[in-house]
Structure 1
Amino acid sequence: MYALKDKEMIFVFTGPHGAGRKTVAEMSGSTLGMKQVISYTTRPPRATEEDGQDYQFISPAQFVQAQANDEFIEVTTVNDHLYGIKSADIEQMFELSGSIYLILNRFGAETLKKLYGDQVVLIFIYADREKLEQRMKDSGDTEDIIAKYLSYYEEELDFRDQCDHVFENVDLAHTVFDLTKTLDLYLNRNLVDLD
């Protein structure tokens, strides 16, 4: 497992599926010059997803082989698909940037917090159930998939109490602005508010 150096920080974006955590994370990461560590998964890509950008999509056999080689620091199963983060990817991204971020479900977020303690900042992004359902419909998810994700909604929401920061993503620009200011306190980039 990669050992974090003193000033290295990992920001983990978590929250219910459809809350916009990926969009919020990418916009905040871009503004602050942070690099994303991409998770691996055995599930097939959705129509809007790209390999290497949203996830590293690999076969179950490849995943099991990497797991046998002890390449993952965290592995979870969601809806019968495996997800994992490779230690080597974390190390590589830290070579490019002093701070990195990941987009994980609550199980992955908990695991990273246990592994790295205070050097992991958990950021919970959420929206109300109706908004999530609409966003999932808009992104082309099937009724079955939507029902499955919404069945976890209350459990996901309960996890926010364990997170360092909580943002309701009603207005994307507002959420990103507030979040970027919050993360800047950790990074000491001294962003200037021009409003």
Structure 2
Amino acid sequence: MYELKEREMIFVFTGPHGAGRKTVAEMSGSTLGIKQVISCTTRPQRPTEVDGQDYHFITAEQFNEAQAKDEFIEVTRVNDYLYGIKNSDIEKIFKSSGSIYLILNRFGAETLQALYGDHVVRIFIYADRDTLEQRMRESGDSEELIATYLSHYEDEMAYREQCEHVFENVDLAHTVFDLTKTLDQYLNRNLLELD
């Protein structure tokens, strides 16, 4: 497992599916110069996804082989698919960046928090159930998939009490602005506020 240096931080974006975690994380990360660690998954790639950008899409055999070699620091099963974070991916990005971010479900967030303690800051991004359902429909998710994601909504929402920061993502620009200011406090970059 990678040993974090004193000022190295891991920001974990979590929350219910459809809340905009990925978009908020990418925009905030880009503004602050924080690099993302991409998870591996056995889930099939969706038409709008890019391998190596959204996930590292690998076969169940490749995943099991990597797991047998103890390459993952965290493994989660969601809807019969495996997700994992490779220790080597974390180490590689920390070599070029003082902080990293990941987009994980609550189980992955808890695992990283248990491993790295105060170096992990969990950011919970959410929206109300109706908004999530509308966003999933607009992105072309099937009714079956929407029902599956919404069946986890209450469990996902309950996790917000354990996160260090909570943001309701109704207005994307507003959410990213507030979040960037919050994360900057951890990075001590002293970004100037421009009116």
Same fold per superposition (TM over 0.5): yes
Structure 2 residue matching 1:102: 3-state secondary structure: strand
Q: Which amino acid aligns with 2:28?
A: S
Gaps of 5+ in 1: none
Match of 1:122 in 2: 122
Match of 1:156 in 2: 156
Q: Which amino acid aligns with 1:65?
A: E
Match of 1:11 in 2: 11
CA distance in 2, matches of 1:180, 1:4: 22
Structure 1 residue 49 corresponds to structure 2 residue 66: no
Match of 2:37 in 1: 37
1:165-184 residue pairs with structure 2 within 5 A? 165-184=165-184
CA distance in 2, matches of 1:13, 1:35: 13
Match of 2:64 in 1: 64
Match of 1:185 in 2: 185
Shift of 1:57: 0.2
Query: When the two structures are superposed, what TM-score results if normalisation uses the length of structure 2?
Result: 0.99
**Aligned residue-pair number:** 195
Shift of 1:188: 0.6
Q: Percent identity between the aligned chains?
A: 77
Q: Which amino acid aligns with 1:44?
A: P
CA distance in 2, matches of 1:190, 1:157: 32
Query: When the two structures are superposed, what TM-score results if normalisation uses the length of structure 1?
Result: 0.99
Match of 1:87 in 2: 87
CA distance in 2, matches of 1:181, 1:91: 26
Structure 1 residue matching 2:95: 3-state secondary structure: helix
Shift of 1:96: 1.2
The one-character-per-residue Cα deviations of 1:96-117 (angstroms, maximum 9, x if unpaired) are 1100000000000000000000
The one-character-per-residue Cα deviations of 1:56-107 (angstroms, maximum 9, x if unpaired) are 0000000000000000000000000000000010000001110000000000
Q: Which amino acid aligns with 1:126?
A: Y
CA distance in 1, matches of 2:96, 2:45: 27
Match of 2:77 in 1: 77
Match of 1:134 in 2: 134
Shift of 1:44: 0.5
Match of 2:112 in 1: 112
Kindly report structure 1 stretches of 4+ aligned residues shifted beyond 2 Å: none
Q: Which amino acid aligns with 2:24?
A: V
CA distance in 1, matches of 2:38, 2:94: 13
CA distance in 2, matches of 1:12, 1:119: 10
Shift of 1:140: 1.0
Shift of 1:40: 0.3
Q: Which amino acid aligns with 2:182?
A: T
CA-atom RMSD, angstroms? 0.4
CA distance in 1, matches of 2:193, 2:43: 41
